[in-house]
């Protein structure tokens, strides 16, 4: 499994970006194994545009859909550059959180685990 399903209508740019990043990361065995154990939803909101996407993890299956679902397991809001820094591995999500560069809500342990699917090892 290294494909990420599109749930619902055509994805917005944020969703497409996240989808492609996760698909790339799932090619890494270590990440694939970790994602394979995850169950829950993560809403990612880009701060400037206010655009949101939801990533659904279901024990190996991953889906992305537009907009925020209600009551996700975790929520993260950041500007595109911060999201880019996190996904490229330059900025750790915890460091970003502690520095106030991102906002997070929900189950933070789950957020930290789910964010591993978004962080490139390359």
Partner 1 sequence: MPTIDDFIRPKEWVSGFVSDLGRVIRKWGEERYIPIRQQVDEDWKEHKIVEPLLKEVLVDLGINAAFFPAEVGGTDIPDPLTCVTVVCEELARIDAGFCVAAICSVWGMVPIIWKPHRNMELCEEFGPKFCGPELFVGCHVMTEPDSGADIENFGRLQGKTIKTTATLDGDEWIINGHKLWASNSGKVGDLYTVICTTNKGSTDPDDFALILVPADAKGVSVGNPYQKCGMSADINTDVWFENVRVPKRYRMHGPGDDLKYWREAITYGSIGSTAICVGVMKNVYEIIKKWTSERVIAGKPLKEHSIVADMLSEVTILIESTSAWMWTLVREISRPDIYGWDPWDERYLLKTRGLSLFASNAVERACSRAMDFMGSYGYAREFDIEKHYRDQKVIGLWMGGKTLKTLENARYWYNLETL
Partner 2 sequence: MAVLYPSNEWCQEWKKAINSNEVIEETGKNWGVDFNGNWLFEVTPGGGLDKTTYLYLEAKAGKCSDSRLIDDPSEVDAGFFCTGSYELFKPVVKGEQDFIEGVVRGVFKLKGDMTKIMLNARFIRAVADSLGTFESEFLGE
Residues that bind partner 2 (CB under 8 A): 10-14, 16-17, 20-21, 24, 46, 48-49, 51, 80-81, 83-85, 87-88, 120, 122
Query: 55-84 mask for partner 1 (x: CB under 8 A)?
Result: ----x-----------x-x-----------
**Distance (Å, rounded) from C-alpha 88 to C-alpha 98?**
18
- Cα separation, 74 vs 106, whole angstroms: 4
* CB-nearer residue toward partner 2: 85 or 106: 85
Report DSSP state, residue 49.
T
CA-CA distance, 2 to 24, in Å (whole number)? 8
Sheet (strand 5-6) strand order? 5-6, 61-66, 52-58, 39-46, 74-78, 103-106
CB closer to partner 2, 11 vs 97? 11
Site for partner 1 in 30-59 (CB under 8 A): 37-40, 59
For partner 1, the closer CB: 15 or 57:
57
In whole angstroms, the minimum distance from the beta carbon of 28 to partner 2 comes to 12
Q: Could you tell me which of 57, 1, 59, 3 has the C-alpha nearest to residue 29? A: 1
Two tokens, residue 120: 């490139």
Binding site for partner 1 (CB under 8 A): 37-40, 59, 71, 73, 92-94, 97-98, 105-113
């Amino acid at each position: 499994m290294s494909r990420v399903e599109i749930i619902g209508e055509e994805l917005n740019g944020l969703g497409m970006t996240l989808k492609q990043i996760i698909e790339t990361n799932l090619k890494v065995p270590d990440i694939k194994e970790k994602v394979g154990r995850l169950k829950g939803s993560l809403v990612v909101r880009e701060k400037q545009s206010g655009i949101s996407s939801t990533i659904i993890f279901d024990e190996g299956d991953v889906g992305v859909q537009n907009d925020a679902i209600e009551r996700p397991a975790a929520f993260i809001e950041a500007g595109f550059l911060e999201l880019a820094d996190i996904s490229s591995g330059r900025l750790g999500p915890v460091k970003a959180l502690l520095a106030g560069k991102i906002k997070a809500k929900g189950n933070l342990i789950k957020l930290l685990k789910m964010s591993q699917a978004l962080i490139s090892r390359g």
